[in-house]
Amino acid sequence: MKKLALILFLPLLCFYGCVYLVAAGAGAAAGVVTYKYISGELQVQYPYPLERVWHATEEAVKEMRISVTERARDTFSGSLKGKTSTGTSVSIKAKQLEEKVTLVKIRVGIFGDEAASMRIKDAIDKRLGI
């Protein structure tokens, strides 16, 4: 199974240098987490339903002490806006693509901050057990 996933995604690595594949522990058995950073926005695709990813996102935001100023949620998507302790804006959007596939978009600051976005992603990953 892992070899098949590697064979299928290897061309992506060759043609799209900004696409990274991460497979760790139980996450690899459930699916592959992919992410890319484009134009100041980190896009992460999780092999989990929206409800689980949204809960992990809210817990990660709370853990990172991001002050939420705006929150919206419906059956197929969710979004929140907030500020870090230094006043930098944070925007996180989640959208269910399939029953067990959720896309999360993270932007920190006006022009984006890849390192800060990755810290939020890592906090979400931790909550998901990845």
CA dist., res. 99 & res. 80, Å (int): 21
DSSP 22-37: E--HHHHHH--EEEEE
CATH topology of domain 2-128: TATA-Binding Protein (3.30.310)
Instruction: Please return the burial class of 39, using the count of CB atoms within 10 Å of its CB with bins 0-12, 13-18 and 19+.
Output: exposed
Report CA dihedral (90, 31, 10, 114) to the nearest 10 degrees.
Answer: 10
- This prediction has a pTM of 0.76
The 10s digit of each residue's pLDDT in 56-105 is 999 999 999 999 999 999 999 999 999 999 999 999 999 999 999 999 99
